[in-house]
Amino acid sequence: MQATGFLEECRDRYGSIFTLEISQGRTVVLSSDPTVAREVLTGDPDLLYAGQGNVVLRPLLGERSVLLLDGPEHLRQRRLLLPPFHGERMRAYGERIDAIAAEHVARWPVGRPFPVRDSMQAITLEVILRVVFGVEEPARVAQLSAPLRRLLDAAVSPAQMLLLQLTRSEGTRPRAPWGRIRRMMAPVDAMIHEEIGARRAELAAGGSGRDDILSLLLEARDEAGAPMTDAELRDELMTLLVAGHETTATALSWTLERVTREPEVLARLEREAAGGWADGTAYLDAVITETLRLRPVVPAVVRKLQAPMTFGGWQLPAGVNIAPSIWLIHHDPGLYPDPHSFRPERFLGRRPGTYEWIPFGGGIRRCLGAAFALHEMRVVLQAILAAARLEPTAAAPERIVRRFVTFTPAAGGRLTVAAKR
Ligand code: HEM
């Protein structure tokens, strides 16, 4: 049985809150209740830690990553990072994202199925390098992409992560797994520091008029007026890369996997694209919203209790991990009739309830890149629809497989292009 079917069976048998043993001795309290989700996600961040749960990423992200910190330190980093990710700002990046996507789609084969996820990953990686890191020259993008891809592939697998964590103390031995990752990380770190140095130099020489996120972060100041150090910038850039690239690539792959199985949805998108989106992107946005509901990339968000607390009528001791289940909330038949069907109309003219649709988590840890990701998805999908006619398929839905903390399509979102435009 798929893990998702198991979760739904637990909910049907035990109700909206239950404890799951995820591995020997490691338990998590899952809740499918949006009210509990709101209480957990908006609860006191000093009592509900999130960073500890991501500790397995520390070798890659570093000590100062916003994903790993809690309490006042987390708040400081988050406040520094947040302004460049404001929804309004995202429009400035549309043209760059469109050009990157169009270039990749032009290379897709015609009449032959292929897994679209690799291409989506290449697009989202390039988007981060250009829009977040501010790298412009194609040769430099390519120079950075290859070692980064190798590093991420080697590091971000569940087994590898566990191994890294267990063997970190042996990290100086070149053969130890951590040593291997560290060797792969060295050239990547060097290049990231070169980019930081270059952007700093431009700023010192009187500003560059650049609008990439790194340039904006260099000017950020905390409440005491202090800028971010190079070490902090390195960790946050790596964090944005890891948090923002695979997740968005997977969400895009699921969108294409879904729409090619729904000929009417695909036909409507193609009509709207052919009409130059004259009526706006409400339908495309509903398609994206419904994909993130039906196939949430991250199936749960976890908080660790620092003191005894009560949720859903249950008193839970300190140390318990509580997780609003994004999957179960999104598949609640009371909130979403016929919850396993892909029906973008659910969201036409209706915004989802705040804690009934939580693909980006919520509260003080809500995904920093949510507006970025939604904008990127919109622009990439528009670029695809403009350049290629996609073939609908009668193939069964792709199974869901876990890749680190994400749910991805088992066959990588196999797709056939009927013709290029
Ligand atoms: C569809 C794509 C994406 C999905 C589904 C997604 C999902 C999530 C989720 C579920 C969380 C945890 C929230 C919580 O614990 O309440 C998160 C955190 C985060 N995401 Fe995303 N994300 C996506 C794209 C991005 C992008 C594009 C970026 C940046 C470029 C990004 C940066 C971050 C960061 C920095 C955090 C940590 C926030 C904190 O701890 O304060 N994400 N994301």
Three-state DSSP class for 62?
Answer: coil
Cross-strand bridge partners of residue 49:
304
CB 245 within 8 A of CB 237: no
Q: CA–CA separation, 103 vs 388, rounded Å?
A: 12
**Token reading at 101:** 């996507």
What pLDDT is attached to residue 24? 74
Task: Report the candidate in 252, 243, 241, 245 with the shortest Cα–Cα distance to residue 409.
Answer: 252
CA of 245 to the centre of ligand 1 (A): 10
Q: What's the structural domain count of the chain?
A: 1
Q: CA–CA separation, 84 vs 132, rounded Å?
A: 9
- 10 Å Cβ neighbour count for 250? 24
pLDDT category of residue 170 using cuts at 50, 70 and 90: very low
Q: Is 10 annotated as a binding residue?
A: no
Helix spans in 156-277 (H): 158-166, 177-204, 213-218, 230-259, 263-274
Do the bridges between strand 406-409 and strand 400-403 make them parallel or antiparallel, or are there none, so unpaired? antiparallel
Q: CA–CA separation, 199 vs 170, rounded Å?
A: 35
Identify the DSSP state of 132: I
The predicted model gives 237-253 an average pLDDT of: 95
Q: CA–CA separation, 135 vs 149, rounded Å?
A: 16
CA of 293 to the centre of ligand 1 (A): 15
Identify the DSSP state of 325: B
The atom number, within ligand 1, closest to the CA of 67 reads: 40
Whether residue 254 has its Cβ less than 6 Å from ligand 1? no
Instruction: Find the CATH number of the domain harbouring 400.
Output: 1.10.630.10
CB 41 within 8 A of CB 360: no
CA of 408 to the centre of ligand 1 (A): 16
Q: CA–CA separation, 247 vs 373, rounded Å?
A: 9
Q: Which helix (H) or strand (E) holds 23?
A: strand 17-23
* Per-residue pLDDT reduced to its tens digit, 386-401: 999 999 999 999 999 9
Residues in the chain: 421
**Token reading at 136:** 């412009």
Whether residue 373 has its Cβ less than 6 Å from ligand 1? yes
Q: CA–CA separation, 272 vs 19, rounded Å?
A: 46
Whether residue 324 has its Cβ less than 6 Å from ligand 1? no
Buried b (16+ CB within 10 A) or exposed e, 16-26: bbbebeeeeee
What pLDDT is attached to residue 376? 98
Whether residue 66 has its Cβ less than 6 Å from ligand 1? yes
Ligand 1 atom 32 nearest Cα: 369
Do the bridges between strand 303-305 and strand 26-31 make them parallel or antiparallel, or are there none, so unpaired? unpaired
Q: What percent of the chain shows pLDDT beyond 90?
A: 80
Query: Looking up tokens 């996120």, which residue turns up?
Result: 213
Q: CA–CA separation, 34 vs 70, rounded Å?
A: 24
Whether residue 361 has its Cβ less than 6 Å from ligand 1? yes
pLDDT category of residue 404 using cuts at 50, 70 and 90: confident
CA of 331 to the centre of ligand 1 (A): 21
CA of 359 to the centre of ligand 1 (A): 9
**Token reading at 180:** 């291997």
CA of 89 to the centre of ligand 1 (A): 17
Whether residue 405 has its Cβ less than 6 Å from ligand 1? no
* Per-residue pLDDT reduced to its tens digit, 290-317: 999 999 999 999 999 999 999 999 999 9
Whether residue 380 has its Cβ less than 6 Å from ligand 1? no
* Per-residue pLDDT reduced to its tens digit, 100-149: 999 999 999 999 999 999 999 999 999 999 999 999 899 999 999 999 98
pLDDT category of residue 172 using cuts at 50, 70 and 90: very low
Integer CA distances (angstroms), 206 to 202, 203, 210, 217, 218, in order: 7, 5, 12, 16, 13
pLDDT category of residue 177 using cuts at 50, 70 and 90: low
Q: Which helix (H) or strand (E) holds 291?
A: helix 282-294
Identify the DSSP state of 130: I
* Per-residue pLDDT reduced to its tens digit, 254-279: 999 999 999 999 999 999 999 999 99
Ligand 1 atom 2 nearest Cα: 248
Domain of residue 17: give its range. 3-420
| 208 φ/ψ angles, rounded to the nearest 5 degrees | -120, -5
CB 349 within 8 A of CB 256: no
- CA 180: distance to chain centroid? 26
Buried b (16+ CB within 10 A) or exposed e, 81-117: beebbeeebbeebeebbeebbbebbeebeeeeeebbb
Q: In this model, does residue 321 exceed pLDDT 50?
A: yes
Whether residue 85 has its Cβ less than 6 Å from ligand 1? no
Ligand 1: residue of 39, 303, 367 to mutate (most ligand atoms within 8 A of CB) is 367
What pLDDT is attached to residue 168? 52
Q: Where are the beta strands (DSSP E) in 340-416?
A: 388-390, 400-403, 406-409, 414-415
What pLDDT is attached to residue 174? 45
**Token reading at 370:** 């949510």
Helix spans in 333-397 (H): 370-387
